[in-house]
Structure 1
Amino acid sequence: MKTTTITALPCSAALVAAGLLLTACSSADTGSGQTGSGSFEGRGPITYVAGKDTTGNTQTIIDHWNKLHPKEKVTFIQLPTDADSQRQQMIQNAETKSDAYTVLSLDVVWTSEFAAHKWIDKLPEKQFPLDKMLKPVVDTAKYRDGLYAAPAASDGGMLYYRTDLLKKAGITQPPTTWTEMKTACAKVKKLPQAKDMSCYAGQFQKYEGLTVNFAEAVNSAGGTVTDDFGEPNVDTAEAKKGLDFLVDSVKDRTIPKEAVTYQEEEGRKEFQDGKLIFLRNWPYVYSLAAKSDIKGKYAVAPLPGLNGPGSSSLGGHNLALSSFAKNKATALDFMTFFTSEESADYFLKKSSLAPPYAHLYDDASLVKQYPYLPVLKESIERAMPRPRVVQYGDMTSAVQQQVYAALTGDRSSAQALKDLQAALQKSVAQ
């Protein structure tokens, strides 16, 4: 397998890992630069804090760093898999000004909140090759024109679909609209092997995934959750069309009733077990499905929308440096190492994680091996960010409460959006 080297950093220590040449640096000049809590000083052990590593690949990267830096080892602190619990524990650590957490793996939408509260340090932009990264991804790492995180992995929602069943039903192209998807489902379900299958699912449990799926529905109907100035904008005809798609789909069983309990993994397993024709999910599903019984029987397409292709919510994770951490010089070097092009290539090949680096999506050899890359790039470039507001926790909590109530029939779409508008305005005013 071809190996590559990093030329952006003046360091010499390197190792071959899983066919990739990863370079890790420990030079004095990388510790320069001012932050809100001082300079990047201090070398020694640090921690890396992220959601549970279900693949083992994150630990592999950390192990390689530790092998090269026995006096600056990284301890991996794994938090729960759901984003809400991760955010809560990181905030608790910050509010106590604890140095237990050093490098944080933040959901891309948390940057503004953590930066505004001075829980993370401003970073030196020259430390990271931002010019090689997709602009929407870089934008998620900034707050008030300053860089407060380093893009590690992006994410875009895609529509997984059963190519074998669509072909048998005489459907030659994946749907681009919600109506086309429902029509395709009706045709597929006439097949003997598909009569007990459900049509479509996403992430509809009351957690961050519901905020993502709601925002996608609203954006894909021409609406927006907040405007460019962060002002709530959900009590609109466009937002209602988006929410109505979800609510009506539960009512007519396009979305199975049990999908209101689905996070990412529940939907993935249902799709792999042959119980779903269509699934909205992230790129990590692609490599896992290739190891299941539906290998060779599925593909991906852009998310459908009201009148044409829809818009994904922009996902992914960025690395940030806790303002209360010790050994920040080591931390900055580790962040550079972990977010390097070589690391991104490794995570793409091992975990189907969307890289922040633009050229990897156009690499012919990679596209041949990972045919979803062009769709994923389109998804990211068309993606709409979730509201980047300082009080993000209040915002997402309000969305989850009102949207879940509409999905489960506790209130109408119109009432849910009216109540949500009021709750979001209250949150923004704080």
Structure 2
Amino acid sequence: MIPTIFAKSLGTSELWVGMFGLLLHFLTSFLRDSWRSTSRRLFVAVVGAIALLQWVIFPAFTQQPVTVKVLVQALEGAQLAPLVERFHRENPDIELDIVEAPNDTNNVEDLYTSAFLLGQSPYDLVYMDIVWVPKFAAAGWLLPLDDRIERAGIDLGKFLQGDVNGGRYRGELYRMPFRSDGGMLYYRTDWLQAVGRQPPATFDELVDVSQELQAQGLTDWGYVWQGKQYEGLSAMFVEVLAGYGAYWVDPDTLDVGLDRSEAIAAVEFLVSTITSGVSPPGVTTYSEEPVRRLFENGRTAFMRNWPYAYSLGQQSAIAGQFAIQPMVRSSQGRSGACQGGWGLGIAKTTAHPDAAWRVAEYFARAETQKQYSLETGYVPSRRELFADPELVAEFSYLPDLLNVIENSVLRPPIAQYSQASDILQRYLSAAFSRTMTPDAAMEAAARETRALLRSAPRAS
């Protein structure tokens, strides 16, 4: 009767408080009577029972879950809801609190940065873009994860190597991979078949086949890419750099390669696509979405974009008429896919590092990533999932995507990455608008980047 009454009027923890309060009352009364009428041995036993109830059993029943907070873009936070619900079912002692942030990733980075700079960050976990890792780790805002990974017996070889490498700073891992990303070349299979051409393997072939398709009247433009002055421009450019055998910054020596002849040739190629009419003049204002719309609307033969565009394209008017491949290259370079992706790190200021690790470990599991990929179309970071029958049935491009994304190229994992990227974007834009020549632009970019890095500590 008493538990029923309490259950109707109180919550779970309050119910146990009430029940144990009554029990303690009864035991105390019994203790008072025992002092008068029973032996000292019974008295000691009752005192022990009260102590057990008060300091061991009672706290165990009334303990509240530990709250673990993480800041996530609002759109993805909603997409994560089913995974969070399953985590709560499996881990009732941890409350995972997804704090909604703006959808602009730059704003999210700024919010995390401000929280850490103010001192005690309210976030226990950090949901990170791959390019944030060096900055956050160098600032001392993250806990290294290697010891926890070893104790948990996690095999990092089962993850995409680019995702793992992108989570490291100076040899230590600070981010557990969750979802991956990589740049690639999309092309119209039907148009290439119409003119009897194979997909291009080099930059010259890309321009040549684009001009042929334009001459045949099959397409308005040959090749579109991200030319707007923003982070997507830097991501696109590292692929072209790799294709010409060039580099941006060597993270070990901090040597800058932007003014080398191979890097200048990479800029000259992009400028030439505009001046030759292979790319539209407006490409200098394009981010991912304008590029995707041109491709889906049948106005371009080739497109550089991320994997998300594949599933959207298969729902458009060109479904079944396009394919993907690694980015083209020169005879001196290699095909490269800019490594993107997101993962979880543990904030150094957290009061609950063990609980935060359990969340990060949960999101790194194969079954968690599979569920998320099925629900959202995002690319997993575990290699075995690219051949998973259920995922391949839903996303037939995954086996091909694995070949693309394993040719990953990292943006420089340096603490000053954000500033270095801003420098590069400004001078690439100057070259594209032809206010500076490619060689002058890259010489200026290299000079400013060296000044930025001059006082940076060397990696050990």
TM-score by length of 1: 0.83
1:213 has 2:236 as partner: yes
Taking the aligned partners of 2:184 and 2:77, their CA distance within structure 1 comes to: 21
Code of the residue aligned with 2:202 in structure 1: it is T
> Displacement of 1:397 after TM fit?
1.1
RMSD over aligned Cα, in angstroms? 2.3
Residue equivalent to 2:371: 346
The structure 2 residue matched to 1:411, chosen from 403, 428, 436, is: 436
Residue equivalent to 2:271: 247
Residue equivalent to 1:87: 109
Instruction: Find the residue that maps to 2:316 and give its secondary structure.
Output: coil
Instruction: Find the residue that maps to 1:259 and give its secondary structure.
Output: helix
Task: Map 1:153-164 onto structure 2 (within 5 A).
Answer: 153-164=179-190
Taking the aligned partners of 1:176 and 1:364, their CA distance within structure 2 comes to: 30
Residue equivalent to 2:316: 292
1:125 and 1:147 in contact (8 A); partners too: no
> Displacement of 1:237 after TM fit?
0.6
Taking the aligned partners of 2:209 and 2:375, their CA distance within structure 1 comes to: 33
The structure 2 residue matched to 1:374, chosen from 399, 411, 418, is: 399
Residue equivalent to 2:72: 50
Deviations 1:267-322 (CA, angstroms, capped at 9, x unpaired):
22222222221111111111111111211111111111123762122111121112
Code of the residue aligned with 1:121 in structure 2: it is L
Instruction: Find the residue that maps to 2:113 and give its secondary structure.
Output: helix
Taking the aligned partners of 1:176 and 1:421, their CA distance within structure 2 comes to: 29
Of residues 405-414 and 120-129 in structure 1, the stretch that sits farther from structure 2 once superposed is 120-129
1:146 has 2:169 as partner: no
The structure 2 residue matched to 1:401, chosen from 426, 436, 452, is: 426
> Displacement of 1:68 after TM fit?
4.8
Residue equivalent to 2:307: 283
> Displacement of 1:209 after TM fit?
0.7
5+ unaligned residues in a row in structure 1: which ranges? 1-41
The structure 2 residue matched to 1:108, chosen from 107, 124, 130, is: 130
Residue equivalent to 2:28: none
Code of the residue aligned with 2:149 in structure 1: it is E
Residue equivalent to 2:163: 137
Residue equivalent to 2:245: 222
TM-score by length of 2: 0.78
Deviations 1:133-158 (CA, angstroms, capped at 9, x unpaired):
23332122122222211011222111
Deviations 1:9-60 (CA, angstroms, capped at 9, x unpaired):
xxxxxxxxxxxxxxxxxxxxxxxxxxxxxxxxx9522222233436953233
1:421 has 2:446 as partner: yes
Code of the residue aligned with 1:384 in structure 2: it is V
Code of the residue aligned with 1:284 in structure 2: it is Y
Taking the aligned partners of 2:231 and 2:253, their CA distance within structure 1 comes to: 22
1:84 and 1:207 in contact (8 A); partners too: no
> Displacement of 1:394 after TM fit?
1.2
Taking the aligned partners of 1:261 and 1:63, their CA distance within structure 2 comes to: 40
2:83 and 2:372 in contact (8 A); partners too: no
Residue equivalent to 1:72: 94
More helix by share: 2
What is the aligned residue count?
386
Taking the aligned partners of 2:76 and 2:311, their CA distance within structure 1 comes to: 13
CA 268–59 in structure 1, closer or farther in 2 if over 3 Å, else same: farther
Deviations 1:335-379 (CA, angstroms, capped at 9, x unpaired):
111121112222333333332222223446644653322332222
> Displacement of 1:326 after TM fit?
3.8
The structure 2 residue matched to 1:312, chosen from 314, 321, 337, is: 337
5+ unaligned residues in a row in structure 2: which ranges? 1-63, 456-460
Taking the aligned partners of 2:86 and 2:371, their CA distance within structure 1 comes to: 13
2:328 and 2:335 in contact (8 A); partners too: yes
> Displacement of 1:208 after TM fit?
0.9
Instruction: Find the residue that maps to 1:419 and give its secondary structure.
Output: helix
Taking the aligned partners of 2:432 and 2:74, their CA distance within structure 1 comes to: 29
Residue equivalent to 1:200: 223
Identical aligned pairs, as a percentage?
A: 27
> Displacement of 1:243 after TM fit?
1.0
1:180 has 2:205 as partner: yes
Code of the residue aligned with 1:48 in structure 2: it is V
1:237 has 2:261 as partner: yes
> Displacement of 1:414 after TM fit?
0.6
